[in-house]
Amino acid sequence: MGHTDNGKGRIPPCGALSREVLVKPGGPGERADLSVTSRLSERPMFGEQCMEDVCERRNLQRALKRVIQNKGSAGADGMTVGELTGHLKGNWLSIKDALLRGEYQPKPVKRVEIPKPGGKEKRKLGIPCAVDRFIQQALLQVLQTKWDETFSDHSYGFRPKRSAHQAIAKAQSYIQEGYSHVVDIDLEKFFDRVCHDRLMSRLAERIRDRRVLKLIRSYLRAGIFEGGLIHVPTEGTPQGGPLSPFLSNVVLDELDKELEARGHRFVRYADDCNIYVKSLRAGERVMESIGRFIQKRLKLKVNTTKSAVDLPRNRSFLGYTFTGGIRPNRRKIAGKSLKRFKARVRQLTRRNRGISLQDMIMRLNVFLSGWIGYFGFCETPSIYRDLDSWIRHRLRCVQWKQWKIYHRRKAELLKLGVREDLAQTTAFSAKGPWGISNTPGVRIALNNDYFATQGLLCLAAH
């Protein structure tokens, strides 16, 4: 892959894609012009040659590069991402021909269940085969280039140049403006409940190419391989493919436009939607009316056990919450996020892992660097110091246990600068690893500088 299309089915080097920018009416906090929005939604955005754009050589090369970068497990056919390039070199002509004739049939997706954060529930993923991931990515790049400009400014999930941090900052700005209550709406099993007919109707408003519509319908109806059997879904967009997040935004853009028309302050990230109001009573009215809209118009269901009208500091949004008290409305890491953090660190720093302290710190750093990359947006830095102290305490336990016997422990303490009487008392102590790790002898030997020399990442210094 990486050569010109010379009739042998090979995909050329990528190049810049043209981008048509559409002007979107309305903006944050403004009431949208419904007539203009309606005309815009009915105006076809993609003509009858859309599939040719999908199969355009530069677009395909970009798609292949992205799929390889994202890696991921093999689908139901067992083909790995590493095998994809070779497969396309030998089979791309026939695949392309089927796409252009509107006759391509996706393979079933593989059902995989992963635990949801902070609970016993499982999230069901549908992993497409590598070829279908490649085609979906190519299709996504064409559709999203133009369509994204028409999405709401209040939508932040799965969109180019938008992030969870921007969504959290926007929510914070509403709270600081005096919108003291949040209507926290949780959609029950959203990705499993999307109505195919409504989704296809929305897509058909913008796409004239019937081949593209048929292909998307085929992906929605692709069988799910689970437990040796294949069943065909009648609703939902299986999570796991590149196209699914975009389709979720197409569905929920209707909710965004409704909230804009009503003049609400809100933030949506994928299926997490928070609406900010000035009183509990106003929030209850919004919850009731928007709940009816979601159920009757979108054919979705609000999870009443997880949705609520409350003060922002009592709710979490994308792993964060906000402070109350003397210095209110600052970004703060939510309690559930801290529990998940500690659970993961406990796994990585188990005393019986059978690896050296240096190897343990190296693996721990990989997790810590990714975690601080997201939760470094917090505005309460004291939590980082507390977590650093707790992590070092756990690592002292590991090192103490690895020293094992009295003579080794005393020798190591002396080597690290502990005076002899304290080293002897500490080495002879009957306390367990957790207790002994907080005594002066161990803390002097295994101090902050010691862990810094071992390369331990410091959260407070990020």
Supply 284's token pair. Answer: 């209850």
- pLDDT for 232 equals 76
CA distance 8 to 5: 7
> Residue 214: which residues within 8 A CB-CB, separation 6 or more?
102
Residue 301: pLDDT over 70: yes
Span 215-233, average pLDDT: 82
- 214, 203 in Cβ contact below 8 A? no
pLDDT in tens, 4-62: 444 444 444 433 333 333 333 344 444 444 443 444 445 678 888 999 999 999 999 99
Half-sphere exposure of 399 (CA within 13 A, CB side): 26
- pLDDT for 34 equals 41
Closest CA to 182 of 309, 316, 319: 309
Supply 246's token pair. Answer: 């975009």
> Residue 301: which residues within 8 A CB-CB, separation 6 or more?
187, 188, 189, 193, 294, 295
Helix extents (H) in 177-223: 190-193, 196-206, 210-221
Q: What are phi and psi of 101, to 5 degrees?
A: -85, -5
- 410, 360 in Cβ contact below 8 A? no
- 32, 25 in Cβ contact below 8 A? yes
> Residue 38: which residues within 8 A CB-CB, separation 6 or more?
none
Cα dist from 330 to 171, 172, 308, 321, 336, whole Å: 11, 8, 21, 8, 17
- 138, 130 in Cβ contact below 8 A? no
Span 83-93, average pLDDT: 95
CA distance 71 to 77: 16
pLDDT in tens, 325-371: 888 999 999 999 999 999 999 999 999 888 999 999 999 999 999 99
CA distance 51 to 212: 6
> Residue 119: which residues within 8 A CB-CB, separation 6 or more?
none
pLDDT in tens, 60-82: 999 999 999 998 888 888 999 99
CA distance 264 to 182: 11
pTM recorded for the entire structure? 0.84
